Each structure stands twice: as structure tokens, then as C-alpha cells.
Structure 1
Amino acid sequence: MNNNLSFITNEENQSLKERFRTLIKDTSFFDCLVGYFYSSGFYAVYPALENTDKIRILIGIGTNRQTFDMMEQANKQSQQTFDFSHAETKQEIENLVESEMADSEDNRNVEDGVHTFMDWINKGKLEIRAYPSQKIHAKLYIMTFKEGDRDNGRVITGSSNFTQSGLVDNLEFNVELQRPEDYNFALKKFNELW
């Protein structure tokens, strides 16, 4: 992939998954504001997140049943409650019963991804919230670099949800923003919604 290119379309070896793998390995914090989050998106990038201190995912519209069940199970194991501040949000998530696991390959990577997902929730490294008061269809990814790195961070925004389809399979249109003003604005807005 041409690392100088600002646009990412998931074609010609320029997938969002590969761009994330390049950027995320150098981040302290990875924040996502997405309309949809499926575990397939997590499986696609979690190895690059190993050294990331904190991952926050804010879901605006929905997830699938498998991801919801994994979040519930992880929170039960840590004796926390998965706090939906609005019953309608929980109902919306529960209604998305598409079985992603049935469509995914039955392999070691998926099994490791499920274990890592639950482990990181239990340890507080991964936090996932559903935004209850309005539907958010944004796709915003904020990567905060480690102190002393090249700059504060990067923002990627566009059409890709945090799913296998959005990261690799679909033709998408995303742009990487590098200006400090864009990074600061995106992080401020994310924190307001969080």
C-alpha cells in the first residue's frame, strides 16, 4: 500500500485492515465510533492491538448476536454489568441476530480472537458502549500514538464500519487525516459522546 495516499478503498492492496495494522502497532489508544461493530472486525485487527493500552468502541446502531453474546459473557465473568443506558439500544442490538459465527471460518484465528476479546473486556483494556439516545451512523477511528512518537495521532473516517466487510471485503471510501486540528477535533467529539 502507498503509505502517502490519504484515501483507502479496499482495492489494489489498499485495505483499511492493512492501514490499521500499520498505524495501530504504534498507538497507545484506539477509539472507534461506528454504526456497526461485528466481531469479524475485531478478529481482523486484534493482533496489531496487542501493545495498545486502551481500546474504546462506541456503537451507534448495532452489532450482531455473536458479538453481543461475547460482550455479555465477558461482563458476567468479571461481574460487571453491560450498562445500556436505554432499553431501546439493547433491544436494537438483540434484534440483530445475524449469525456471524456461522459465516466465519471455523479456525484457530477466530477461536483466539474470541478468547482475546473476552480477556480484554475482563481486564478493562477493551470497552464497548452502545450510544442510546440517537442512532449514530458515523465511521470514525482515532489512533493516539505513544508519547514522543511522530505526532499526536491519526484519524480515519469514511464509509467503513468495524466489520470484515468494511475493513477488507467491500469497496469503501475512507480518508486518513493527519493534521493536529483534525485529530484534536475528532478526539474531543468522541469523548463528548463517550
Structure 2
Amino acid sequence: MGTFITNSEEKSLKERLQTLIGNSAELKFLVGFFYFSGIRELYETLKTLYESEALKEEHLKILVGLNIDKSAYGIYESARKQRIYSGNKLKKDFYKS
């Protein structure tokens, strides 16, 4: 069953997502727009899960409708195509940064 979450006076979307990420086996998001800079807000929660080995391969899924941060995706896609980094190496480098 899906749940709609948005900002309110009592609780911000950031706080709610941090709680959900830490307490859920899997999260799926359907969004119209997505920018990787927004991951910065969730970084510490994701890093904590990663370090405790609780962050699984498909823990977080984001389906984007209209627009994505193409520059950040291009960097990832280029590294993947050139096989510069494995998926695990990309994740490790991300969480160490």
C-alpha cells in the first residue's frame, strides 16, 4: 500500500524520509523531478545504514517522471560504460566522500 508524504508544520519531508530509510527494508519513490543534490539531505542516514551493512542493493528505488539531474547521471553512466568502477566501488567511494 502506498503512502503520500509531504511537508507539514509538525514534520519536514527530510525528517520523515530519514526515519523511513532507517526503519524500512525497501523504499520506492515516484517523483516528477529528481536532482542528485537532494541526496545530500539523506546522506548521513544512508551512510549509517551502509556502514552497518543494513543498506541492501535495492533498498532505495526512485522512478523519475519528467526531469533528472543529467550531469550527475552522465558521470555515473560514463564510469559504468568504461568499467572504471564496479557498482560496489561506486557505492564505497560515495559513502566515503
**TM-score over 0.5 (shorter chain):** yes
Residues 36-90 of structure 1: CA distance to partner in whole angstroms, max 9, x if unpaired? 1112321111322232312221111112xxx21111111211227xxxxxxxxxx
User: 1:12 Cα shift?
Assistant: 3.2
Change (3 A) 1:35 1:74: same
Q: What are the within-5 Å matches in structure 2 for residues 116-135 of structure 1?
A: 119-120=90-91
Match for residue 14 of structure 2 among 9, 17, 21: 17
Secondary structure at the residue paired with 1:18? helix
Distance (whole Å) between structure 1 residues aligned to residue 17 and residue 72 of structure 2: 23
> What pairs with 1:151-162 in structure 2 (closer than 5 Å)?
none
Q: Whole-Å Cα distance in 2 between the matches of residues 13 and 60 of structure 1?
A: 29
- Residue 59 of structure 1 corresponds to 64
Tell me how far 1:13 sits from its aligned partner: 4.4
Compute the RMSD of aligned alpha carbons: 2.8
> Residue 29 of structure 2 is aligned with which of 32, 52, 55?
32
Greater percentage in strand: 1
| In 1: Cα distance, 2:27 partner to 2:45 partner | 11
| TM-score for the superposition, normalised by structure 2 | 0.60
Match of 1:47 among 25, 44, 47: 44
Q: Which structure: greater helix fraction? A: 2
> Could you tell me which residue of structure 1 aligns to residue 79 of structure 2?
77
Q: Which has the larger radius of gyration?
A: 1
Give, as a single letter, the amino acid of the residue that structure 1 aligns with 2:37. Answer: S
Counterpart CA distance in 2 for 1:7 and 1:77 is 35
The AA in structure 2 aligned to 1:74 is Y
Give the Cα separation in 1 of the matches to 2:63 and 2:81: 21
- Report the TM-score when normalising by structure 1: 0.33
How high is the sequence identity, in percent, across the aligned residues? 35
Distance 2:78 2:6 in 1: 38
Kindly provide the CA deviation profile for residues 79-130 of structure 1, in whole angstroms up to 9, marking residues without a partner as x. Answer: 27xxxxxxxxxxxxxxxxxxxxxxxxxxxxxxxxxxxxxx33x9xxxxxxxx
